[in-house]
Each structure stands twice: as structure tokens, then as C-alpha cells.
């Protein structure tokens, strides 16, 4: 991915973060720093990160996952891993990233994962009955 595209997605992710978390305006450097050595973050980590840093951000429960996805994407961007499928290591199509900047898998892996999870739930249902 070239610098222009990285800049584009950095901007897109920042906008998404501000939409999901208006209180985070101007706090991104601190958040990025915190994300850098706290991965993967679970809910407790996320909560303690906020209270310990006294960022004063109120995370609404329904925003929580969204914010975490965006922060993870920003982290991948800073690590130079952005746009690389976590399943197969291929580059994710730019069109797909533009539609879904927080995505971590390419389209074929996404489809594969959907099939696998569907099969898994069928199996579970059958075992239960």
C-alpha cells in the first residue's frame, strides 16, 4: 500500500473514531500509545486504560466494540500491517477497505469464515436436539 493510500485510510479511521467517540477529539496520540502496548485488549484492559490515563472518555456499551475495532485498525496502520489479511496474509482489496476500513480479512477469507461459522452452528444445533 502506498503512502497516499495510507494517508487516506488514516484519515478515514480518524473520522470514524471521532464519530464513534466524539470525546476522543485531540486524544488520539495518547490512545495510540496505549493501544501500542495493550494488544489484544479485553474489556477490563480497555476500561483500566481509560481510568488510569484519566482520559475522561465515557465508553457507551454499544460503542465499545466499534471503538475497539477502529483502534485496532489504527494500530495496524501504525505497525505497517494495515490492509493485510490476518487469515491468509494477502493484501485486502482497496475497494473493500474503503467500504469497511476496520476489516481484518480479505473477501475470500471472510466468505470462508462465514461458511465455517454457519457449519459450526448447524453442528451445535444438531447435537443439542
The residues that touch Zn ion, with contacts defined as CB under 5 A, are 85, 87-88, 106, 109
Is the separation of the CB atoms in 17 and 73 below 8 Å? no
| CB 37, min distance to Zn ion, A | 27
Q: Which is nearer to Zn ion, 49 or 93 (CB)?
A: 93
| CB 119, min distance to Zn ion, A | 18
DSSP character string of 82-104: TTB-TTT-PBPPHHHHHH-TT--
| Sign for the pseudo-dihedral over CA of 56, 57, 58, 61 | negative
| CB 107, min distance to Zn ion, A | 8
Collapsing DSSP to helix, strand or coil, 26 comes out as coil
Is the separation of the CB atoms in 107 and 88 below 8 Å? no
Q: Which is nearer to Zn ion, 70 or 85 (CB)?
A: 85
Q: Which is nearer to Zn ion, 59 or 106 (CB)?
A: 106
Amino acid at each position: 500500500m502506498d503512502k497516499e493510500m495510507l494517508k487516506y485510510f488514516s484519515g478515514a479511521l480518524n473520522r470514524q473514531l471521532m464519530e464513534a467517540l466524539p470525546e476522543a477529539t485531540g486524544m488520539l496520540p495518547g490512545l495510540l500509545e496505549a493501544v501500542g502496548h495493550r494488544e489484544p485488549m479485553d474489556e477490563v484492559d480497555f476500561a483500566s486504560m481509560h481510568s488510569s490515563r484519566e482520559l475522561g472518555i465515557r465508553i457507551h456499551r454499544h460503542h465499545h466494540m466499534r471503538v475497539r475495532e477502529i483502534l485496532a485498525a489504527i494500530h495496524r496502520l501504525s505497525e505497517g500491517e494495515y490492509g493485510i489479511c490476518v487469515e491468509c496474509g494477502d493484501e485486502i482489496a482497496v475497494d473493500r477497505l474503503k467500504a469497511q476500513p476496520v476489516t481484518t480479512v480479505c473477501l475470500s477469507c471472510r466468505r470462508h469464515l462465514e461458511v465455517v461459522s454457519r457449519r459450526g452452528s448447524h453442528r451445535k444445533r444438531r447435537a443439542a436436539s
